[in-house]
């Protein structure tokens, strides 16, 4: 049974939302006079707004409580749903679970400095879509900071429907980008996540791993970085899928610049380094391609730098899983030690497999030759 309490304005002294699935339906939610708000995961606060009113939450979710009572108000418990059937701004607060809904004409503007420790999703009832969720400006920051597994919500097709700056944090947590999330039958989480400027994590409270995995037989999961600012991956990244058609894709595009301090393990996915983009593998990093279904694509003027101590491994026996641009501005791999990765097998066919040979190779330091053949064009 669901209980709904509907009001224009809630002035809060003490409210508990428990496992009985109580919904507070409100235009304005004000916590005053040192009151506190506590909700279980089944509690729901729906911000409807009315007429020209956006709806507003105050006195809770500011993330700065200084005493035990106030700390209950640091983060809003349960789920907050911004649900006006019209344009609405989602406040920059600390949420446990955040849900966005509307109708075909609603535009939902996501304010900067939102923190989510649980789930962030949208309700596509009434044909509400990811293309109606707008992230406000190039300096916008969205943070997933849960200490348990979290799934990153997909993004829309246009720049303003995509994350500007994404922060993943939460000690020892795992963040997922899945093509389909079936935790709730009515909840679709899009598989393509786009970050237009920067992706990073808190260096002290960093996550354990990022998993990009295609789960549906009809779609892939993809993380695209389009940025000129330097992003830092100090976690392990896994590219996976359930079949060759449902892969996990990590794509660097539009002059992306990424420092890799963890490992990339590609077991059924694609690492794409786009035109003018760069991946810098630091001394603690390994990049592994598990078999011939694990792909590396390096485009024109792309750059993969392996600093001393970093290694790249191709476990494919065919070695036809990699392609390197060989134009006048070719794809470049720079080795600063370690073993040079073979690019072809012993039965190399220059007619059919030349695209699997290096574009340009730079050797520095003590890089050593492999037990295999190297071709460059």
Which of 257-261, 295-299, 315-319 bottoms out in mean pLDDT, i.e. has the lowest?
315-319
Domain membership of residue 32 (yes or no) is yes
- Looking at the structure, tell me whether residues 247 and 333 fall in a common domain: yes
Domain membership of residue 149 (yes or no) is no
- CB count within 10 Å of CB 208 equals 14
CA dist list (Å): 317 to 7, 289, 292, 321? 66, 11, 7, 10
Structural domain boundaries enclosing 279: 169-377
Q: Which of 82, 117, 136 is the last residue of a domain?
A: 136
Structurally, how many domains does the chain consist of? 2
Domain membership of residue 156 (yes or no) is no
- Looking at the structure, tell me whether residues 120 and 202 fall in a common domain: no
Mean pLDDT is highest, among 49-58, 145-154, 339-348, for 145-154
- Looking at the structure, tell me whether residues 295 and 190 fall in a common domain: yes
Q: What is the pLDDT of residues 201-250, one digit of tens each?
A: 876 778 889 988 887 766 788 899 998 788 989 999 999 887 877 788 99
Domain membership of residue 258 (yes or no) is yes
- Looking at the structure, tell me whether residues 213 and 311 fall in a common domain: yes
- Looking at the structure, tell me whether residues 121 and 252 fall in a common domain: no
Looking from the CA of 133 toward its CB, the CA atoms found within 13 Å total 28
Please work out, in degrees rounded to the nearest 5, the angle formed at the alpha carbon of residue 253 by the alpha carbons of 309 and 238.
Answer: 50
SS3 call for 369: coil
- Looking at the structure, tell me whether residues 302 and 360 fall in a common domain: yes
Q: Which of 114, 136, 158 is the last residue of a domain?
A: 136
* Residues 23, 305: Cα–Cα separation, whole Å: 53
Q: What is the pLDDT of residues 142-182, one digit of tens each?
A: 999 888 889 898 888 888 999 999 999 888 889 988 775 43
What's the whole-number mean pLDDT along residues 283-300?
95
Backbone angles phi, psi at 340, to 5 degrees: -75, 135
Domain membership of residue 18 (yes or no) is yes
- Looking at the structure, tell me whether residues 195 and 323 fall in a common domain: yes
Query: What pLDDT, on a 0 to 100 scale, did the predictor assign at position 181?
Result: 43
Domain membership of residue 147 (yes or no) is no
8-state DSSP, 340: P
Q: Which of 93, 121, 136 is the last residue of a domain?
A: 136
* Residues 330, 324: Cα–Cα separation, whole Å: 8
- Looking at the structure, tell me whether residues 39 and 130 fall in a common domain: yes
- Looking at the structure, tell me whether residues 12 and 107 fall in a common domain: yes
- Looking at the structure, tell me whether residues 377 and 260 fall in a common domain: yes
Domain membership of residue 76 (yes or no) is yes
Domain membership of residue 146 (yes or no) is no
Query: What pLDDT, on a 0 to 100 scale, did the predictor assign at position 309?
Result: 93
- With 0.75 as the threshold, say if the pTM is over it: yes
Cβ-contact 63, 75 below 8 angstroms: yes
Cβ-contact 78, 42 below 8 angstroms: yes
- Looking at the structure, tell me whether residues 57 and 193 fall in a common domain: no
- Looking at the structure, tell me whether residues 210 and 329 fall in a common domain: yes
The residues, ordered by sequence, that sit 6+ positions from 65 with a Cβ below 8 Å of its Cβ are 71, 72, 73, 74
Task: Report how far apart the first and last C-alpha atoms of the chain are (Å, whole number).
Answer: 68
Query: What pLDDT, on a 0 to 100 scale, did the predictor assign at position 184?
Result: 31
């Amino acid at each position: 049974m669901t209980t709904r309490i509907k009001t224009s304005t809630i002035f809060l002294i003490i409210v508990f939302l428990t496992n009985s699935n109580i919904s507070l339906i409100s235009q304005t939610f004000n916590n005053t006079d040192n009151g506190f708000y506590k909700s279980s995961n089944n509690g729901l606060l729906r911000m409807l707004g009315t007429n020209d009113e956006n709806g507003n939450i105050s006195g809770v979710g500011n993330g700065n409580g200084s005493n035990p009572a106030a700390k209950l108000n640091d983060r809003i418990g349960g789920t907050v749903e911004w649900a006006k059937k019209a344009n609405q701004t989602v406040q920059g607060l600390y949420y446990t679970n955040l849900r966005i809904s509307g109708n075909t004409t609603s535009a939902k503007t996501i304010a900067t400095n939102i923190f989510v420790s649980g789930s962030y999703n949208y309700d596509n009832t009434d044909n509400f879509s990811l293309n109606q969720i707008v992230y406000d400006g190039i300096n916008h920051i969205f943070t997933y900071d849960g200490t348990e597994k979290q799934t990153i919500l997909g993004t829309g097709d246009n720049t303003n429907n995509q994350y500007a700056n994404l922060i993943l944090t939460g000690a020892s947590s795992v963040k997922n980008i899945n093509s389909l999330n079936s935790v709730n039958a009515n909840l679709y989480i899009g598989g393509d996540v786009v970050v237009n400027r920067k992706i990073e994590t808190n260096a002290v409270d960093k996550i354990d791993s990022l998993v990009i995995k295609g789960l549906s037989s009809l779609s892939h999961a993809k993380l695209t970085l389009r940025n000129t600012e330097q992003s830092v991956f100090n976690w392990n990244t896994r590219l996976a899928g359930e079949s060759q058609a449902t892969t996990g894709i990590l794509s660097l595009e539009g002059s992306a610049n990424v420092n890799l301090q963890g490992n990339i393990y590609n077991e059924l996915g694609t690492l794409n380094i786009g035109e003018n983009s760069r991946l810098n593998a630091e001394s603690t990093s390994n990049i592994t391609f598990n078999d011939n279904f694990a792909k590396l694509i390096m485009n024109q003027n792309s750059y993969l730098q392996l600093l001393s101590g970093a290694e790249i491994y191709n476990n494919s026996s065919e070695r036809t899983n990699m392609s390197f641009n060989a134009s006048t501005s070719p794809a470049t791999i720079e080795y600063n030690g370690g073993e040079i990765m073979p690019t072809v097998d012993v039965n190399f066919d220059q007619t059919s497999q030349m695209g699997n040979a290096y574009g340009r190779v730079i050797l520095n330091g003590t890089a050593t030759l492999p037990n295999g053949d190297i071709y460059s064009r």
